[in-house]
Every structure is written in structure tokens, then in C-alpha cells.
């Protein structure tokens, strides 16, 4: 009997050899939970140090004076921050214009369009924070992304999404979105741009692109730890919450949160929170990164199969980052929380994807060879809506998770809304004053 080979997950974005990680881990405000069993007390404790959790602390300090929340704690279960989905993604940052037809079908015209407008405002807010804090995270919101259609049904959905946006903009002249941001592609345009005749159309979205999410998170975290009263505990795995106040760690330490607890733990929430166990479905995604390629085939990002596959090419060394193909797994990777291994069936699809769907690459004497692979755990929800806001009947615990694989276009402003909720402020008021959407009702 042949022994199955276990292939390890090796995420590129959070490799500990990167200087931004090794230098940050020396920060004096980082406390290692295993080195102490002392109990401690804080005003606000945020569990999870991915984009959601760090953004929530960032907004608490940006929006309110230190005296409002003197002591804030970020709590991470792993050895270094951003070890979960935020450090294991594909690096895209793009509003879901191409999903709008589905949003409208599921949630209604106004809600669906406002959700896309919210995502548009979200990525602009990220860009502004990056600029204000001089964060080096390789963000590029001018390269654009194209959502591609292989079938007539996919194309009809993309065209319908475009028409919804067009109609919404005509009815809402004050919106900051613009139709100039979008361009419908036909089959000929796809052939011209893609080195492929396999796609019959697409929707190109100009104000979107890519970002090194872990660098973004570490940059925001650097700002947070420079503020008074903020600590970070690593290796602090939460096993339960008692009385909406006491946070029990695996090593027996008890952290006390007097004002609020924020659960920004995405799929990990199911391990210690009864409330989310029938609402969140942990789902494993898989990405790969190729060896360097001399030819740059696409200066923009791409997605296909209704977002089931997504990829972009580095303008520096030509490496292609590719993600998706969960459909190749019999269970589509649902209820899988193991991000230490990769799925061989999905790996096979990654290896054959470009020869199948972009055969023009081979005509230029190029091949796409995988050099690095990794997995990450997303949090899908039973109703396709994120879980944002207070726990029912509990005004001290807040959820900030469940993005259904779309954390980048949603999490930053969702975190801002939760920060306002913690302070008993109106999370909608700012958007109403600025004629945009900063949170959805």
C-alpha cells in the first residue's frame, strides 16, 4: 500500500523570513501568553488580529480619545499576528460589481446596489488609511480586475450586474461610484487582452487591484501599538467566554473585558462560541504562486467561473498568484479548518488551469510552474451575509466575522461600524452626511 504524501501549506504572504514580520515581532508591546499566567483587565478586548480585529482597534483610537477606552487588548491565538485568512488569501481588493445581479436577487435592488457602493467606499477608505499612515503594502487600485464569462449564463449575469449599476447611478446622482469605472468586454476584446479564446465576455473594473494584506494589517497594527494603552497578546488561544466579561485562555489565564469583547475571529469563532456554530461554515480556500515568468501577460487581475478562480501576475517578476477550484473537492472544502495542508485534487486543477484556459501562454514558450502553495480558512454563513454587530441580547459582545470569502471589500468599514457601536454611536450617520454608504442596515 502506498503511503499518502501530505503536502504542507506554506503561505507566501506571512512567511516568517519576511523582514516586516521578523522586525515587528521584537515590539516591546507584544506579550506572549505562555510566558505569564497573570490575569489582566482591559476596557475592550478584540479577539483576532487579522484585518477585522486590527481595524477595529485602529478605529477605536482614531475616532475616540484615549480617555474613552484607556486600555485595549488585541488577542491572537498563534505565535504572530495575521496568521489566519488575512495572511493566507489571494491578494485581491475589488468591489463585487460582478456579483450585483446575485445581490439584487437575494437581498433586493436597493440593498444589493448599496452593498456594492459600501464596498466601493471600503476600498477607498483602505487606500486613504494606507496613505495617511505611510503603510508599505504594495496596494495598487489602478491596475483593475476583470470578471470573465465562459458560458452564456455567466455573461448574462455580468451584463445584468452592469445594467443594475447603470440604473442605480442614474437614480442616485450623489453617489461616488462612476460608470466610467466599468467596461463590458465582448469575445473579441477578451481574445485581444487575455491570450485566450476561451472567454466570451467580461466586466472590467478599473478602480480595483491588489494588496499585500498582511503588510496592510501589520502597518495598521504598528499604528495601534504606538498609541497609549494598547497591548497585543500572542499564543493566547481562547477556549470560552464567561459572563460576557471573562475571557478564558487555554493556559488558564483570565482576561477581563469591562466594556466590550469583539469576536473578530472569522471561522475560528465556531471553536469557542455556541451562537455561531449553526451560522458559520468554515471553508478552506487554496492558493498557489508560480515561479518567475519573463512575460507579463495581464497587467490586471482576473476572475472566472463566477469568482471560483482568481489570479493576478506580479508586475515585478511575473509570478502568478492563483486561487480557487474548491469545486474539485467532493465537499468543496466546507467544514474544513485545517490550513496546514493542501488538497491534492485542487492542486491538480491549479497545475492544469493555464494550459486549459490560456493556451496562448504556451505559444510564447512560457509555462506556469507552481513554486509555493497554501490554504486558508474562510467563514461562510448560512444566509450569505456577514455577522456584524452585537450578540442578540448582549450589548457587551460584538461579532465581526463571516465575510463569505469577501473580507477585503467589506472588513475595514465593518470594523469602523463596530467601533462606533462599542461607543454607542450611530454607525450610519457618517455615510448619510457624506452622501455615501459607510454601513448597511
The pLDDT confidence band at residue 195, using thresholds 50, 70 and 90, is: confident
Predicted local distance difference test score (pLDDT) of residue 366: 87
> Over the stretch 91-120, which tens digit does the pLDDT of each residue have?
999 999 999 999 999 999 999 999 999 999
DSSP, residue by residue, 331-350: TTTBT----SB--HHHHHHH
**230-234/72-75 β-pairing:** parallel
| Closest to 265 measured CA to CA, from 23, 54, 36, 42 | 54
The pLDDT confidence band at residue 38, using thresholds 50, 70 and 90, is: low
Averaged pLDDT, 372-397: 96
Contact between residue 93 and residue 409 where contact means Cβ atoms under 8 Å apart: yes
> Over the stretch 375-384, which tens digit does the pLDDT of each residue have?
999 999 999 9
**230-234/246-249 β-pairing:** unpaired
DSSP, residue by residue, 6-67: PPBP--STT-TTSHHHHHHTT-TTEEEGGG----EEEEEEEE--SHHHHHHHHHHHHHS-TT
Place of cell 495542508: 341
pLDDT exceeds 90 at position 161 = yes
Burial of 4 (0-12, 13-18, 19+ CB in 10 A): exposed
Phi (first) and psi of residue 208, to 5 degrees: -165, 175
Higher pLDDT, 441 or 220: 220
pLDDT exceeds 50 at position 2 = no
Averaged pLDDT, 139-150: 96
**Rounded-to-10 torsion of CA 101, 103, 108, 112:** -100
pLDDT exceeds 90 at position 174 = no
> Over the stretch 234-254, which tens digit does the pLDDT of each residue have?
999 999 999 999 999 998 999
Tell me the C-alpha to C-alpha distance, in Å, between residue 340 and each of 6, 109, 133, 183, 369.
Answer: 10, 41, 33, 39, 22
Predicted local distance difference test score (pLDDT) of residue 8: 81
Q: Does the pTM of the predicted model rise above 0.85?
A: yes
Name residues whose C-beta falls within 8 Å of residue 65's C-beta, 6 or more positions apart in sequence.
Answer: none
Looking at every residue in the chain, the average pLDDT score rounds to 93
The rounded distance, in Å, linking the Cα atoms of 394 and 415 is 18
Predicted local distance difference test score (pLDDT) of residue 205: 97
Higher pLDDT, 131 or 2: 131
The rounded distance, in Å, linking the Cα atoms of 75 and 72 is 10
pLDDT exceeds 70 at position 223 = yes
Averaged pLDDT, 364-378: 93
Most distant CA atoms of the chain, gap in Å: 68
Predicted local distance difference test score (pLDDT) of residue 6: 57
Question: Which of 157-166, 212-221, 384-393, 432-441 shows the lowest mean pLDDT across its residues?
Answer: 432-441
> Over the stretch 397-430, which tens digit does the pLDDT of each residue have?
999 999 999 999 999 999 999 999 999 998 888 8
The rounded distance, in Å, linking the Cα atoms of 366 and 374 is 24
Residue 169 DSSP one-character state? H
Domains of the chain: 19-88+214-279+384-433 (3.50.50.60), 281-381 (3.30.9.10)
The rounded distance, in Å, linking the Cα atoms of 435 and 433 is 6
Predicted local distance difference test score (pLDDT) of residue 9: 83
pLDDT exceeds 80 at position 39 = no
Contact between residue 307 and residue 323 where contact means Cβ atoms under 8 Å apart: no
Averaged pLDDT, 266-295: 96
Cell numbers of 203, please? 466586466
- In total, the chain counts a number of residues equal to 441
Averaged pLDDT, 288-301: 96
Amino acid at each position: 500500500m502506498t503511503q499518502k504524501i501530505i503536502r504542507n501549506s506554506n503561505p507566501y504572504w506571512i512567511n516568517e523570513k519576511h523582514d516586516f514580520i521578523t522586525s515587528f515581532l521584537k515590539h516591546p508591546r507584544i506579550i506572549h501568553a505562555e510566558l505569564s499566567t497573570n490575569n489582566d483587565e482591559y476596557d475592550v478586548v478584540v479577539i483576532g488580529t487579522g484585518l477585522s480585529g486590527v481595524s477595529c482597534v485602529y478605529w477605536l483610537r482614531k475616532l475616540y480619545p484615549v480617555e474613552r477606552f484607556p486600555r485595549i487588548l488585541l488577542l491572537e491565538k498563534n505565535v504572530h499576528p495575521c496568521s489566519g485568512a488575512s495572511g493566507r488569501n489571494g491578494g485581491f481588493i475589488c468591489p463585487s460589481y460582478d456579483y450585483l445581479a446575485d445581490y439584487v436577487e437575494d437581498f433586493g435592488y436597493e440593498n444589493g446596489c448599496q452593498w456594492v457602493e459600501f464596498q466601493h467606499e471600503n476600498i477607498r477608505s483602505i487606500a486613504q488609511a494606507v496613505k495617511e499612515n505611510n503603510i508599505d503594502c504594495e496596494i495598487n487600485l489602478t491596475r483593475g480586475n476583470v470578471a470573465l464569462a465562459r458560458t452564456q449564463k455567466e455573461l448574462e449575469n455580468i451584463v445584468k450586474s452592469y445594467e443594475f449599476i447603470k440604473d442605480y447611478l442614474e437614480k442616485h446622482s450623489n453617489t461616488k461610484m462612476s460608470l466610467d469605472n466599468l467596461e463590458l468586454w465582448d469575445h473579441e476584446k477578451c481574445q485581444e487582452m487575455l491570450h485566450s479564446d476561451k472567454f466570451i465576455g467580461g466586466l472590467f473594473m478599473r478602480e480595483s487591484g491588489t494588496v499585500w494584506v498582511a503588510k496592510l494589517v501589520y502597518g495598521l497594527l504598528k499604528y495601534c501599538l504606538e498609541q497609549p494603552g494598547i497591548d497585543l497578546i500572542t499564543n493566547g488561544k481562547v477556549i470560552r467566554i464567561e459572563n460576557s466579561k471573562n475571557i478564558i485562555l487555554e493556559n488558564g489565564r483570565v482576561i477581563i473585558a469591562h466594556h466590550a469583547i469583539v469576536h473578530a475571529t472569522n471561522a475560528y469563532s465556531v471553536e469557542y462560541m455556541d451562537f455561531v456554530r449553526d451560522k458559520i461554515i468554515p471553508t478552506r480556500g487554496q492558493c498557489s504562486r508560480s515561479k518567475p515568468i519573463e512575460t507579463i501577460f495581464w497587467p490586471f487581475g482576473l476572475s472566472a467561473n463566477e469568482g471560483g478562480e482568481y489570479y493576478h501576475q506580479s508586475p515585478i517578476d511575473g509570478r502568478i498568484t492563483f486561487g480557487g477550484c474548491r469545486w474539485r473537492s467532493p465537499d468543496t472544502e466546507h467544514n474544513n479548518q485545517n490550513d496546514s495542508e493542501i488538497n491534492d485534487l485542487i492542486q491538480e486543477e491549479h497545475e492544469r488551469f493555464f494550459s486549459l484556459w490560456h493556451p496562448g501562454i504556451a505559444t510564447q514558450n512560457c509555462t506556469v510552474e507552481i513554486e509555493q502553495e497554501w490554504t486558508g480558512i474562510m467563514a461562510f454563513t448560512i444566509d450569505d451575509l456577514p455577522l456584524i454587530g452585537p450578540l442578540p441580547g448582549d450589548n457587551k459582545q460584538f461579532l465581526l466575522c463571516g465575510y463569505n470569502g469577501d473580507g477585503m471589500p467589506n472588513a475595514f468599514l465593518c470594523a469602523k461600524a463596530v467601533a462606533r457601536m462599542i461607543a454607542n454611536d450611530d454607525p450610519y450617520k457618517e455615510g448619510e452626511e457624506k452622501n455615501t454608504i459607510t454601513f448597511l442596515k
